[in-house]
Amino acid sequence: MFTLEFFQQYWWFLISVLGAILVFLLFIQGGQSLIFEARSEMERTMMVNALGRKWELSFTTLVVFGGAFFASFPLFYSTSFGGAYWLWILILLTFVLQAVSYEFRSKKGNIFGTRIYDIFLSIGGALACILLGAAVSTFFFGAEFTIEKQNLVGGASPIISTWAPTHGLEAFCCYENILLGVVVLLLARTLAAMFFIKTIDAGISFQERCKFMVMRYGIAFAVFFVAYVICLLLTDGYQWASDGSISVVSHKYLLNLLEMWWVALVLAIGVVLVLYAIIRTAFTKDYNNGIWPCGIGTILVVLALFWIAGYNNTAYYPSLIDAQDSLTIANSSSSEFTLTAMSIVSLLVPFVAAYIVYAWWSLTRKPVTPDEMSGNDHKY
């Protein structure tokens, strides 16, 4: 039962879970991009402090996501993180800019003032969503790299993968990648508006404006998401055979949905939950729990996207230069011993998740209020 194939499937599942949680937590970055929607300095301060209580979660999840890829699928890690480094450096810079801004925004002796750091938070938040969306989209629409497989076993050169001179920036030459970046940004802003409704007590006017943002960005998200899904289902994908050879298959991702009915079901449930949360939050006066059905729906949708990218003998990282160099969960994974050892450690994940849930509850059990922000004890 516990074969190499089983552990490869299991670790792709864990990678999918981490990726889905990361996309949900991007509501923090989405919220940062909304802080100039505030009509007063007090509202902006409340928004920043509500997000500031959570900002470490998205940063930590990104690091864990990269670490899990490194341990379970090291060939992807060395190929993407090592080759498309301009794309990943830009992503990391947005998170570093976020950390610096939260740390120094309200520090005594801040010679730049809070507005400069608010601008950093707003720009960095928007860019982080777009860049991460574009990076994830390359799982479907590919990247320009080749792999020298003989160097994996002691070749004359230590270089395993070779990239286009742009080293990841070519991702923005594919409009589908940019489209998913926009989708992620709109979803993150929708989730952020729901988060503000849930966690900030700033009066009826603020709540109504947040509900309008949910409607505005939620509708835009739905339109752009449908457009991206259509592009995805119409595109060709790469499929690997038992002998390791890789071939192009027309409408591969559509076939994956049809052949893996359970993935299609998860996707449908996720979409329904997101739409339910958007509609009810926007049009129900006293409803303030939209962040939860929308968050769960987001996680389910992203899980389904990762599963159609990697399961059913699909190459999850297509090479646009040579199809045979595309990465699959079979040809890019760690050894059976390594995956087995890590799988034992992964049994601790539910305990870590329980701690995160408790920490979340502890930090948000009381809403952010103007009275709290009027004092000098607020952190951000």
Among 312, 149, 170, 152, smallest CA distance to 238 is for 312
Compute the distance between CA of residue 166 and CA of residue 178 in angstroms, rounded to an integer.
16
pLDDT of residue 29: 94
**The length of the chain, given as a count of residues:** 380
Compute the distance between CA of residue 262 and CA of residue 303 in angstroms, rounded to an integer.
12
pLDDT of residue 272: 97
Tokens 């002998």 belong to residue = 243
pLDDT of residue 150: 62
Compute the distance between CA of residue 33 and CA of residue 28 in angstroms, rounded to an integer.
9
Token pair recorded at residue 228 = 């991206």
DSSP label at 368?
A: B
Compute the distance between CA of residue 112 and CA of residue 274 in angstroms, rounded to an integer.
39
3-class SS of residue 357:
helix
Token pair recorded at residue 117 = 């750091």
Taking only the tens of pLDDT, the chain with its 380 residues reads: 788 899 999 999 999 999 999 999 999 999 999 999 988 888 898 899 889 888 888 888 888 888 888 889 988 888 888 778 888 899 999 988 888 888 888 777 777 778 889 999 999 999 999 999 999 999 999 988 888 766 555 555 566 777 878 888 888 889 999 999 999 999 999 999 999 999 998 888 899 999 999 999 999 999 999 999 999 999 999 999 988 889 999 999 999 999 999 999 999 999 999 999 999 999 988 888 899 999 999 999 999 999 999 999 999 999 988 889 899 999 889 988 989 988 888 887 788 778 777 877 777 777 787 877 776 656 67
pLDDT of residue 145: 87
What are the residue boundaries of the structural domains of the chain, listed by start? 4-148+175-374
Among 214, 216, 129, smallest CA distance to 178 is for 129
Q: What does each C-alpha distance from 243 to 93, 220, 239 come to in angstroms?
A: 41, 44, 12
Integer-rounded Cα radius of gyration of the chain = 21
Phi, psi (degrees; rounded to nearest 5) at 284: -110, 125
pLDDT of residue 23: 94
| 305-339 b/e (C-beta count within 10 Å ≥ 16 → b) | bbbbbbbbbbbbbbbbbebbbbbbbebbbbeeeeb
Token pair recorded at residue 54 = 């959570």
